[in-house]
Each structure stands twice: as C-alpha cells, then as structure tokens.
C-alpha cells in the first residue's frame, strides 16, 4: 500500500478516520530501492527485479518501506508505468505471500488499470491476512483494504437516492391514530469524494430546522450519523445504522444510539424506493413492549 495516492477511486477516504495514517506514508530514500529504480531506467523492469533477487539478502519484511513496495509506487506515481508496477507488486507477493500489504498494493495498481474484479480478490486476501494479525501495520492495512472494498461495492453511496431536493410529507402516529402531519423540504448532497452525505431540512418558510451528516464506516460495516436539530438545546445526536437490503427496492435500517442518560435505544426503518419517490417508515418500541410500532411515515418526492 502507498499513501498520498490521488487516484480517482480512493478520493475521499477520509470517512474511515482510523485508516488515515495508512495514507500518510512517504517515499523516503532507500539505497536498494534507488538502485532498483536506476536499473529499471537503464535495462527495464525484468532486470530490476533480477537485481532485487540478487541483492536482497535481508528477508525481514519491512512493510511500507519494503524496497519492492516503494519501487512499485514510484513507477505508478512518477513514471505512470502501470505494467512495470504490476510486475513489481507481483514479485512482492511472491516474496511475502503471507503478508497483507503486498496484496493491498497489488490491488492499487489493478484498480488504476481498471481491473476491479481482480483488485477485489486481492483486497479480500489482504483483509483475510490482516485480520489475523495484531500489528499496527496490519490494523492499518485491514482498515484501508476494507475501505477500498466498500468503495468498489458502492457502499459509501447507499443513500444516493436521497440526493437532490425533495418535498417531504410527514405523518406522526400515536398507536394506530394519526397524531399530526407536517411538511418539510430536504436538500441532500455528497462531498466531492462521494463519501459524506449532508442533508439539510427546511420548513415551509425555508427556515433550516435540522441537518443530518452520514458517513460509512467500512471497518464496522455501518453508517455513522450525526443529527442536528435547531430546536434541541442539547446539541448533536449520534447514532449508528446497519443496512439490510430486502430486495425489490426495499431496505431495512436498524439504528442504535445511546441517550444522554446512558440508555441504549433502537429504531427500525423501512424504506421503499420508487422512481421519483421514497416511502420512509419509522418504527419504535415502547418501554413496556418489544413490539415495533409505527411512529412516523415520511414520503419523499423529488422537487421539480
């Protein structure tokens, strides 16, 4: 793996905050790496790899600073020679097949080459090896590989159906009876990297009444959400959401949060997506019952 990569497929990996250190590694001076690079420039990558096999007498795995790892990213970043970088990372896997990072690095060049299917296999191999280890390096690689897999599966944009401006008809229930009804507007958008979803809610007078910020946590396979209510004096409410695809454009969300008294709560959501509308039903449990009771129905329709 190589940090500071600005490849289009990993832009915005900031939603996995615990992995940020992985993307901070630098190419530092390394005598053997420099020799390998000069050999590549003079005689080609095959001769460079042969030089490595001859000169590398220290078989201790050096992680990000491994000469082949550094050479591979140098070829990718400076020379834009993806085929040569691919061969270097393949040699690194052959040398250290029991380490997670070589598979993550190899996946990087495969992603840049557009070979997402093979990249996914190598990221899965990286995750499988890293999760068996307790080293700092492998903890970082585990998170980074999981994040890349999440982007390949488009999990960071699971809620892209909310993108844009919508009118919302809200009906709140008390048991089986309608308690009240209301109307709002929402304006939802992703950041440039496509990872952070921000939703602003306004009332009929166009006053902002709330904001939701949603990001995907690849390590825990869940969505972290912050909700800001302008009428709540206690500030921000944080919650975590697990998503289950029920098929036929239907999703189930299980939201969990801890209130300010330390009590845990769960809320169940059912979402039905249509071409231009979304029905979002929220279920809650009373203190005396484990049964889910319909609390709110929100009908989203795209604004023209």
Q: What pLDDT does residue 87 have?
A: 98
Average pLDDT over residues 177-190: 96
Q: What pLDDT does residue 10 have?
A: 39
CA distance 242 to 266: 11
pLDDT band at 261; cut points 50, 70, 90: confident
pLDDT at residue 53 tops 90: yes
Question: What are residue 131's phi and psi, to 5 degrees?
Answer: -70, -15
Average pLDDT over residues 5-13: 38
Report residue 177 as tokens: 């009876």
Average pLDDT over residues 77-91: 97
Contacts of 243 (CB under 8 A, 6+ apart): 158, 222, 223, 251, 252, 253
pLDDT at residue 105 tops 70: yes
The SS3 call for residue 119 is: helix
Contacts 24+ apart (CB under 8 A), 273-279: 273/161, 273/249, 274/249, 276/301, 276/302, 277/301, 277/302, 278/161, 278/162, 278/166
Question: All domains of the chain, ordered by start, with CATH?
Answer: 13-153 (1.25.40.10), 158-302 (2.40.128.20)
Residue 282 in contact with residue 267, Cβ under 8 Å?
yes
Residue 149 in contact with residue 186, Cβ under 8 Å?
no
Residue 102 in contact with residue 92, Cβ under 8 Å?
yes
Q: What pLDDT does residue 194 have?
A: 85
Residues 116, 117, 120, 122, CA torsion sign:
negative
Question: What are residue 74's phi and psi, to 5 degrees?
Answer: -65, -40
pLDDT at residue 109 tops 90: yes
Q: What pLDDT does residue 2 have?
A: 57
Contacts of 9 (CB under 8 A, 6+ apart): 111, 112, 148, 151
CA distance 202 to 149: 35
Report residue 100 as tokens: 């997670």
Average pLDDT over residues 65-76: 96
The residue whose two tokens read 């019952």 is: 289
Shortest CA distance to 224 belongs to which of 300, 131, 160, 156?
156
H or E stretch covering 69: helix 67-74
Which pTM value belongs to this model? 0.76
Average pLDDT over residues 241-267: 94
- Mean pLDDT, rounded, of the chain: 89
Average pLDDT over residues 105-117: 97
Report residue 91 as tokens: 């040699």
Q: Write the pLDDT tens digit of every residue in 291-304.
A: 999 999 999 999 86
CA distance 258 to 91: 49
Contacts of 294 (CB under 8 A, 6+ apart): 173, 281, 282, 283
pLDDT band at 230; cut points 50, 70, 90: confident
Q: Which of 7-16, 102-111, 160-169, 202-211 has the lowest mean pLDDT?
A: 7-16
CA distance 21 to 144: 10
CA distance 83 to 248: 42
Q: Which of 42-46, 123-127, 179-183, 226-230 has the lowest mean pLDDT?
A: 226-230
CA distance 212 to 124: 32
Average pLDDT over residues 236-256: 95
Q: Which of 24-33, 50-59, 72-81, 118-127 has the lowest mean pLDDT?
A: 24-33
């Amino acid at each position: 793996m190589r940090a500071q990569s600005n490849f289009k497929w990993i832009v915005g990996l900031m939603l996995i905050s615990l992995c940020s250190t992985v993307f901070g590694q630098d190419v530092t001076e390394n005598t053997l790496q420099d020799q390998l690079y000069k050999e590549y420039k003079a005689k080609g990558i095959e001769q460079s790899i042969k030089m490595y096999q001859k000169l590398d007498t220290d078989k201790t795995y050096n992680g990000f600073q491994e000469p082949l790892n550094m050479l591979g990213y140098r070829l990718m970043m400076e020379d834009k020679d993806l085929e040569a970088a691919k061969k270097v990372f393949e040699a690194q896997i052959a040398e250290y097949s029991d380490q997670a990072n070589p598979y993550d690095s190899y996946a990087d060049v495969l992603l840049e080459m557009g070979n997402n299917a093979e990249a996914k296999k190598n990221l899965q191999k990286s995750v499988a090896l890293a999760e068996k280890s307790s080293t700092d390096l492998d903890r970082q690689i585990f998170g980074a590989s999981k994040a890349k897999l999440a982007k390949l599966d488009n999990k960071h944009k699971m809620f892209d159906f909310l993108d844009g401006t919508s009118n919302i008809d809200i009906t709140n229930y008390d048991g089986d009876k309608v308690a009240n009804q209301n109307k709002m507007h929402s304006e939802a958008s992703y950041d440039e990297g496509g990872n952070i979803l921000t939703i602003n809610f306004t009332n009929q007078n166009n006053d902002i009444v709330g904001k939701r910020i949603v990001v995907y946590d690849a390590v825990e396979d869940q969505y972290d959400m912050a909700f800001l209510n302008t009428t709540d004096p206690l500030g921000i409410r944080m919650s975590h959401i697990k998503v289950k695809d029920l098929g036929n454009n239907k999703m189930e969300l299980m939201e969990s949060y801890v209130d300010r008294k330390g009590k845990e709560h769960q809320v169940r959501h059912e979402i039905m997506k249509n071409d231009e509308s979304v029905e979002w039903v929220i279920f809650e449990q009373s203190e005396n019952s484990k049964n889910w009771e319909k609390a709110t129905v929100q009908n989203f329709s795209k604004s023209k």
